[in-house]
Amino acid sequence: MKFLSTRGQMQPKTFSDVLLDGLGPDGGLVVPEQVPTISAEQREAWRSLSYAELAAQVIGHYATDIPEADLATLTAAAYSPEAFPTPGTVPLTPLSEQVTLVGLSEGPTLAFKDLAMQFLGQVIPYVLARSGGTLNILGATSGDTGSAAEHAFRGKPGLSVFMLSPLGRMSDVQRAQMYSIDDDNVHNLAVDGVFDDCQNLVKAISNDAAFKADHRIGAVNSINFGRISAQIVYYFWAWLRATDAVPAEERAAATVTFAIPSGNFGNIYSGHLARRMGLPIAKLILATNENNVLDEFFRTGIYTPRSRELTHATSSPSMDISKASNLERFVWDVLGPEEFVTRWTRLETEGTLDLSDHLPRFAAEFGFVSGTSTHADRVATIRSCFEASGTVVDPHTADALAVLPAYLEPGVPTLVLETAKPEKFSVTVAEALGEQSPATPAHILALLELEQHVVEIANDAEQLKAYVAEHALLTPAGAQA
C-alpha cells in the first residue's frame, strides 16, 4: 500500500513515511493510492476477534510495510486493559429499540481520540526506533486531541509534543487534562485565537519544508493518516457487534446507519473509508453544532469556511471549527486528482468551493446526510436521553442524537458514536439534568486541583517557530533524519 498527496506533488510513500510526516511536502493531505476491499467472508472471519486483534487486521491493510507480528504486538499494547479497562474496549449500549450508543470514550482521557492516539503512541516510537531519529510532534486541539496525544506520548524517549489550543475555548476538564501534565517532553501553548487559527499555524509550520526538516516536525492531528486508519477499526467493530444477532445467512447484507458528531471531519471520514472498504453502511449522518459549515456543504454543495470572528464558542466546544481539514480528502474522492487541484485552488483564492454540481452524489453515492444542533437541542437531548434510557451523554454526542431522528429508517439500526464522557462537560450536563446530574467523580475533582502548565502565545507563526526551535529535540548525529 502506497500513499499520495491530494495536491499531487508527492511521490508515493509508505505508511511509516506518512506516519512521521503528517502533511504531504506539497501541503496536501495524505490519501491511500487505492482503498482496500474487505469481502463479506473476511468480515465474518473477524467476528470472533478481540478489539486489538481486529485493529491489527484493519490497520494492516494500510500499514503493509509493518510486519504482521509487529503490528499485532503494537495494537495489543495500544488496546491493553490498562489503557481501556472496559471489557470489549468499545462497548455498545442500547438507547432504544433502534438506536445504540457506541462507547468510544473508555480510554485514559475519556474521549474517542484515545482510540487512535494510543495506537500512535505505540507505532510512532516503533518506527522511530528503526531509524534512531527523533520527532517533534506539532498539533492543534479544539479540546480532546491535545490531552489524548499528550497522555499517549508523555515520557516517550525521542519524542516531544507541542500542542496548540485556543485560549479560553475549552472546558475546565479539557484544560486540566492537558495543562496538568508536567513531563519535560510536553509543551502546552494556548493561542490567542480559535481552533482554526491553531490548525492554520500547524499547517504553516508543516508547509515550511526547511524548518520542518531541520526540526523533525510531525503531526498527530487527524491530518495524520495513522489516526484515520485506527479510527476505521471501530466502524467495523460496531457493525460486527450490532449484527451478532442477525442470522448468519443475512449478515452480509445487514446495513446500519452511523450518526457522527463532526468538527474537523476526521472521524466521519474514517467511516467513509470503512464504507468504501465494503462495510454495509446505509447512511453517514453528519451532525454539527452552531458552527455548521459542514452541514451547509452537505445540504448545498457549497463550502465556505468562516473567519474566527464568525466561529461561535458553544457548549460542544470540540466542534467549534469552521475550516474542516479532512474535508479535503473527501473532495479529492469526489472530484478525482486532476479536477481536485483546479477546484481546490479556487477555494484557496476565492474562499468558497462550489460543488453543487456534485451534490446528488453526496447522499446517493457516498451516503452522507447532515444536520445542525443548537445549545437548546443539546440540553433537551441530554435530558430526554437520560429520561428514556438512564444514560447520560456529553454535549457532542447529544448533537448527533438531536440530528438523527430526521434520518431514521424502519429496520435499519442506527449507531451513534459517543465522542466523550459527560463528566468532561459537567456545566451543560447540569443544565440539562439539574438535581439528577451525576456527582463529579473524585478523580475529576482531584484533576481540577492540579497545578497547570501552559504558555500563552500570539496567533503568529514566527513566535511559534521560535518556541519550537528553542525546545525541539534534535536528531542524534548518525541517525536517519
Question: Is the pLDDT at 49 greater than 90, yes or no?
Answer: yes
Question: How high is the pLDDT of residue 45?
Answer: 97
pLDDT, tens digit, for every residue of 286-333?
999 999 999 999 999 999 999 989 999 999 999 999 999 899 999 999
Question: How high is the pLDDT of residue 38?
Answer: 98
Question: Is the pLDDT at 249 greater than 90, yes or no?
Answer: yes
Question: What distances in angstroms separate CA 164 from CA 152, 183, 219, 220, one per listed residue?
Answer: 16, 16, 12, 12
Question: How high is the pLDDT of residue 40?
Answer: 96
Q: What average pLDDT score do residues 442-464 get? A: 95
Q: What average pLDDT score do residues 469-481 get? A: 66
461-471 and 195-206 helices, crossing angle to 10°: 60
**Cβ-proximal residues to 140 (8 Å cutoff; 6+ apart), any chain:** 163, 164, 165, 195, 198, 199, 201, 202, 221
Question: How high is the pLDDT of residue 143?
Answer: 80
Question: Is the pLDDT at 400 greater than 60, yes or no?
Answer: yes
Question: Is the pLDDT at 207 greater than 90, yes or no?
Answer: no
Question: Is the pLDDT at 476 greater than 80, yes or no?
Answer: no
Q: What average pLDDT score do residues 199-219 get? A: 89
Nine-digit cell string for 423: 463528566
- 218 pLDDT band (50/70/90 cuts)? confident
- 474 pLDDT band (50/70/90 cuts)? confident
Q: What average pLDDT score do residues 132-153 get? A: 90
394 backbone φψ class: left, alpha, beta (φ>0; ψ -120 to 50) = beta
Question: Is the pLDDT at 477 greater than 60, yes or no?
Answer: no
In this structure, the strands spanning 159-166 and 135-140 are parallel
- 475 pLDDT band (50/70/90 cuts)? low
Q: What average pLDDT score do residues 185-213 get? A: 92
Strand partners, 217: 136
**What CA–CA distance (Å, rounded) separates 372 from 408?**
16
pTM: predicted TM-score of the whole model, two decimal places:
0.93
- 430 pLDDT band (50/70/90 cuts)? very high
CATH number, domain 92-109+232-440? 3.40.50.1100
pLDDT, tens digit, for every residue of 363-382?
999 999 999 999 999 999 99
**What CA–CA distance (Å, rounded) separates 340 from 331?**
7
Question: How high is the pLDDT of residue 480?
Answer: 47
Q: What average pLDDT score do residues 58-67 get? A: 98
- 223 pLDDT band (50/70/90 cuts)? confident
**What CA–CA distance (Å, rounded) separates 200 from 136?**
18
| 310-325 b/e (C-beta count within 10 Å ≥ 16 → b) | ebeebbbbbbbbbbbb
pLDDT, tens digit, for every residue of 88-99?
999 999 999 999
Query: Number of C-alpha atoms within 13 angstroms, CB side, residue 302?
Result: 6
Q: Which of 6-10, 202-206, 449-453 has the lowest mean pLDDT?
A: 202-206
Residue at grid coordinates 456545566: 427
Just list the catalytic residues: 113
Question: How high is the pLDDT of residue 133?
Answer: 82
Question: Is the pLDDT at 479 greater than 80, yes or no?
Answer: no
Answer whether 161's CB lies under 8 Å from 307's CB: no
Q: Which of 153-157, 160-164, 270-274 has the lowest mean pLDDT?
A: 153-157
Question: Is the pLDDT at 334 greater than 60, yes or no?
Answer: yes
Question: How high is the pLDDT of residue 27?
Answer: 86
Question: How high is the pLDDT of residue 427?
Answer: 94
Percentage of the chain with pLDDT > 70?
99
pLDDT, tens digit, for every residue of 337-352?
999 999 998 998 999 9
What mean pLDDT, rounded, does the chain reach? 94
Answer whether 251's CB lies under 8 Å from 241's CB: no
Question: How high is the pLDDT of residue 142?
Answer: 83
**Cβ-proximal residues to 41 (8 Å cutoff; 6+ apart), any chain:** none
Question: How high is the pLDDT of residue 481?
Answer: 45
